[in-house]
Chains A and B, each alone.
Chain A
Amino acid sequence: MKHRGSEIICRLLERQGVEVVAGIPGGSNLPLYDALRDSAIRHVLARHEQGAGFIAQGMARVTGRPGVCLATSGPGATNLLTAIADAKLDSVPLVAITGQVPLPMIGTDAFQEVDTYGLTLPITKHNFLVRSAAELLEVIPLAFTLAASGRPGPVVVDVPKDVQTASIEVGDWPEPGRAAPPALCDGAVLDAMAERIRRAERPVLYLGGGVAQAGAGGLARELAHRMQAPVVCTLMGLGAVPCDDPLCLGMLGMHGARHTNLLMDEADLLVVAGARFDDRATGRAAEFCRHADILHIDIDASEIDKIKKSCVSLAADAGLALEGLLARVAPAARPAWAARLAALRAADPAPPAGDDPLLPQNLIRLIGEVSTPDTVVSTDVGQHQMWTAQGYPFRRPRRLLTSGGLGTMGFGLPAAIGAALARPDLPVVCVSGDGSILMNVQELATLAELDLNVKVVVMNNAHLGLVRQQQELFYQGRYFASSFSARPDFAAIARGFGLRGVDLGACADPAAALRAALSAPGPCLVNAPVHETENVLPMVPPGAANREMIGGSVHAN
C-alpha cells in the first residue's frame, strides 16, 4: 500500500508509542500536520516553538522517554534551537521533527529556508536531513534509538516538504527504535573500585543526573549506607536520594551548603556516578576534593578524565555499576568520618528564617509543605532556582525539572506543562521569577487551553536577581541593567490569559493564600512579591575553590 511521507512519520511515531507531540504548524510542515489530523497522536499547540521544545522536554524529563516536538522551517526551526541545546546539555532524550523547503529549493534562499542541519549540528547527539520518503523508514526509528541510548540527548530530523508529500510503497513497517541495552560492567574494574572503597576512611558519594536517568537512586542510597558515606547531588541529581536521608547532604558546589563543600574538601575518596564535574559543581577544578582519589562511573566515556583524572573509572550505566559495587562492598562503620560530618553540620545550622512568608527561603519551604513526595517541581533560572534546589524537599528522582547545563530562563512554564501532559496524575508546580516568566509567558495561553493542574509561583523581586547579586558581590555594587522599573501585574496577566491569578502582596495572610492557591485543582498563577535584595547564600565566587564560600555559617572550621 502506498503512503505519503507525512503519513509514514505519523505511523512511525504511533508505533514508537508516542501519545503527545507539541509544536506549531507552518508552510513547510503542513503536510505532516495534515496527516497528524488523522492520527491517534494528540497534538499540543504551543504559542512559540521554544515552548513546544520545552513542553516535549517536560514530558521526557518526567518519564525518561523521548519527547517529540514539531516546527516548520526557518523561524520555526531557529525558535527550537534553545530547547534543543538545553536538552543536549542536560542529556534529555528529544526528537525534533522540522519541516524544510522542498529539496529542489534547498540552497536557493527560499522563503523560510534556513540550514537547520547546519544550525543543529553542534547542539544535537545526531541530526538528519531526510532526502527521500523511503529514508524515513530508517531515520525515524533510528532517531528514537539515538535519543534514548547511552547518554540520552536530542536528535533533529529535518524533512523537506516534498519528502512529506511523496508517496511510496511500504511493505513491512520497521520495528520501533529503542534504547540499546547498556553494556555489562567489567568485573575486574568493579573489584578495583571495591578495593579502593574498602581502604577509604573519608568517602563521599557524588551523584548526578545519570543516576536518576538509570533509575539507580535506590542502589546509590544502599551503597551509601553500606559504606557510611555522605551523599552529595548535582542539580540534576537532586532527588536521586531522598533529602531526608541522614546521609544526604543535598547539592554541592556554587550554592551548596557550607558543611557540604567543606566536608568534600576533607574527603579521601570520591565515588562519582552519572556526573561530569560541571564547573558549577566543582568550583576551581584543580582544588576540588584535593585530598580525594576519584572513582568515576559515567555512561559517556568522554566524560572520564575530561575535567578530573580518576584513579579507577568505568564507562557504564550507573545502575549496573552500582549493582556491581553493592555485590562487592562490605558494610563498614567509619565512625570518625560520621563524627566529622556531625560536627560540620552542627557548626552550620540553617539560619533562623522567621515566619515571613515573603522571604524567598520561606516561600520555598511553604511550597514544600503543601507538596507530596511525587509533586513535580519545575523551575526557571536564577535565584528562585537555587533557593528551590537548596530548600525544597526533593524525595524522588525525575521530580525536579530544571535547566541545569544551559541555564535557560523561560524553561519552567512549558516544562511544567509537558510534565502535566505526561503525568496528569501528579501535581505540578513551576517556581519562576519575574525575569524568567516573561521569557515564555505566551505559554500561559497553552496552559489555559489545556486546563492542566499546573501552579506557577512567580518570585517577584523586580530584578534579574542573580545578576543583581553578582553585581553586588563581584562588581562593587555597580548595578546596571538588572532592575525592572516597569512592574507588570502578573496576577492580572494570568487572568488576561483566562487563568486564576493570585497576588500574595494583596493578601492579608499570604501563607494561607499560597496554600489555598496550591491546593485548589486546576491551573493558577501566584505572584509572590519577595524581598528584593535577598541573596542566595552561600556562594562560591566564579573561579574560586568550593571551600572559599561567601556567606552561610562562618564557624564551620
Chain B
Amino acid sequence: MPTETVPRPAGIVLELLVRNHPGVMAHITGLFARRAFNLEGILCGPVGGDRSRMWLLVNDDAKLEQIVKQLAKLHDVMSVGERAGADVTLFHRLEAALCPGGGRPA
C-alpha cells in the first residue's frame, strides 16, 4: 500500500444488521483482525427477531471498500453499509457514561 501522507482521516460508521447468535461477533472481529483492518469501536444491541444492529467505527481509507465487501460475504451479516451522518462522537461520549468522573473502573 502507498504510504498515507494525508492526516489521519475522521472515522466513519458502518451499520450492520446481523443474526444474533453466539459467534457472530467473533466472525466480524476475526475478519478485521485477519485482514489487518482497523476497528476503532463497536456498538451492538438486539433489535428483536433474533437480529442485532451493530455500528462499527472504522477509518475512511483505501481499505474501506474491501472491508464492506468482506463483511457483506459473511453469512450472518444481513446487511452492511455506511451510515451517513452518524454521530461519531457517540463512541467517545460512551466513555463518560461507562466511566463517570473519568476514574479507573472499579
Contacts and interface: CB of A to CB of B under 8 A. Distances in A.
A451 to B, nearest CB: 40
Nearest to B69: A302
Chain B interface category by residue count: 10 to 19
A118 B30 CA distance: 9
19 contacts: A117-B23, A118-B26, A121-B23, A121-B27, A122-B30, A122-B34, A126-B74, A126-B76, A129-B22, A129-B23, A146-B75, A301-B69, A301-B72, A301-B73, A302-B66, A302-B69, A302-B70, A302-B72, A304-B69
A302 B31 CA distance: 13
B50 interface: no
Interface string B26-65: 1100100010000000000000000000000000000001
A500 B76 CA distance: 50
Given A122-B30, A126-B74, A302-B70, 20 more contacts: A117-B23, A118-B26, A121-B23, A121-B26, A121-B30, A122-B34, A125-B75, A126-B75, A126-B76, A129-B22, A129-B23, A146-B75, A300-B73, A301-B72, A301-B73, A302-B69, A302-B72, A302-B73, A304-B69, A305-B65
Contacts of A199: none
A122 B30 CA distance: 7
Nearest to A155: B75
Contacts of B72: 301-302
Interface in B1-30: 22-23, 26-27, 30
Contacts, number: 27
Nearest to B70: A302
Contacts of A300: 73
Contacts of B22: 129
Query: From DSSP, what is the main secondary structure of chain B's interface residues?
Result: helix
Contacts of A126: 74-76
A125 B31 CA distance: 12
A118 B23 CA distance: 8
Nearest to B76: A126
Nearest to B73: A302
A117 B23 CA distance: 8
B26 A306 contact: no
A302 B65 CA distance: 9
Interface string A112-139: 0000011001100110010000000000
Nearest to A304: B69
A146 B65 CA distance: 23
A146 B76 CA distance: 12
Which 8 pairs of residues, A with B, have the shortest CB-CB distance?
A302-B69, A126-B75, A122-B34, A302-B70, A121-B30, A301-B69, A122-B30, A121-B26
A129 B26 CA distance: 13
Contacts of A117: 23
A125 B73 CA distance: 9
A438 B34 CA distance: 31
Nearest to B26: A121
A305 B74 CA distance: 19
Nearest to A115: B26
Contacts of A305: 65
Contacts of B65: 305
Name, among B34, B72, B75, B76, the residue most crowded by chain A CB atoms within 10 Å (CB to CB).
B75
